[in-house]
Amino acid sequence: MKFARLGAKGQEKPAVMVSESEAVFVDHLISDWNRSELEAGAIAKVGAADLSSLPKVKVSDYRIGSPVARPTNIICVGLNYAKHAAESGMTPPPEPVIFTKAPDTAIGPNDDIIIPPNSVKTDYEVEIAIVIGKKASYIPSVEQAPSYIAGYTISQDVSERHWQIERAGQWTKGKSFPTFNPCGPVVVTADSFDPHNVRVWCTVDGEKRQDSSTSDLIFGINHIVWYISQFMELHPGDIINTGTPEGVGMGFKPEKYLRAGQTVVTGIDGIGQFTNKVVAHK
C-alpha cells in the first residue's frame, strides 16, 4: 500500500494511492496519517477495508502534503554512505552518528525550499526515510527491528553548511531551518517494499548531482532502528532520515550550493520523486 495526504496546507486529508496518478480519500476510516492513528492501527484498518467503491481523484488536482502529519521526531543519521564519508574527508564512524531536525521542517514534497537569510551554503541531500509504525524502546535485536517499521518515504534533508559545520559544529543548527525537510510523495508500507538495494538520486536544474544505491549504506535500515531505540523512544509517525550518498554540493570543487531560482528533483526507485523550487527568504 502507498498512502499520502492531499490538500491545501493545514487542510490535508488521508488518502491511499490506487494507481500512479489516482488516489482515494480514507478520511471516513481515519482522521489523518498521524501518530495517534498509526498508534491505533491505521495501516491495518485501512488495509482491511474495501476501497474499491470509493471515488477516485487525480493526485495532480491537489497539493501533496507531508505523508505524516506533524511527526513527533525527525531523527537523522550522518555520514552513513561510504562514498559520502570519503567525499567529506571523514573516516566512516564506528557507530551511527545521530542528530535531530525540528519536526516542523517536514513539509509537502513539492513545496518550496526557502534559503535562510544571508545563507550562501544551503545544500541538498536525498535520503531514504523510515517511518516508524509502533512505539519502540530497547528493541532486543536487529532482527526484530522490521516489525517496528510502518514503511518508507523520501526526504530531502536540506542543510545549511555554515551553521552545521562552521558555527561550533553542531549539526542540528544547520538542519532545522523552516522548509528544510520536504518529504513524500507517499509512504510505501514495509510489506510491499524492500529498501536494501534501491537507487536514490537527486538533480539540480537537470544536472545529476547524486546517483547511488542504499547498498552503499554503512549501517543498514534495521540496524539504525534497533540502534536508535537503545537510547531514544520511537513513536508511530517518527521519521528517520538514514543518510545521504555522495554528490552533495559541499563535496564539489568548487562547491555547488543551492541558489534562489533553481529546481531540485529528488527520487528513489519504487517510492517516487518530487520537485522543489528554491526561493529566497523574504
Question: Tens digits of per-residue pLDDT, 200-222?
Answer: 999 999 999 999 999 999 999 99
Tell which wins on pLDDT, 168 or 220: 220
At CA 239, angle to CA 257 and CA 35, rounded to 5?
140
Mean pLDDT of 180-196: 97
Mean pLDDT of 58-65: 98
Tell which wins on pLDDT, 187 or 85: 187
pLDDT level of residue 156 (50, 70, 90 thresholds): very high
Name the CATH topology of 74-280.
Answer: Fumarylacetoacetate hydrolase; domain 2 (3.90.850)
Mean pLDDT score of the chain: 95
Q: What is the pLDDT of residues 65-109, one digit of tens each?
A: 999 999 999 999 998 998 877 777 778 889 999 999 999 999 999
Q: Which residues contact 276 (CB under 8 A, 6 or more apart)?
A: 109, 110, 111, 112, 113, 156, 182, 263, 264, 265, 266
Mean pLDDT of 178-204: 97
CA distances from 84 to 97, 122, 166, 279 (A): 14, 17, 19, 26
pLDDT level of residue 225 (50, 70, 90 thresholds): very high
Is the dihedral angle over the CA atoms 46, 47, 48, 50 positive or is it negative? Answer: positive
Asked if residue 259 lies in contact with residue 204, where contact means CB atoms within 8 angstroms, the answer is: no
The proportion of the chain whose per-residue pLDDT surpasses 70, expressed as a percent, equals: 99
pLDDT at residue 60 tops 80? yes
Q: What is the pLDDT of residue 87?
A: 76
pLDDT at residue 11 tops 70? yes
pLDDT level of residue 32 (50, 70, 90 thresholds): very high
Q: What is the pLDDT of residue 171?
A: 83
Q: Where in the chain is the domain with CATH 3.90.850.10?
A: 74-280
pLDDT level of residue 179 (50, 70, 90 thresholds): very high
pLDDT at residue 166 tops 80? no
Most confident of 33-47, 79-93, 158-172: 33-47
Q: What is the pLDDT of residue 169?
A: 66
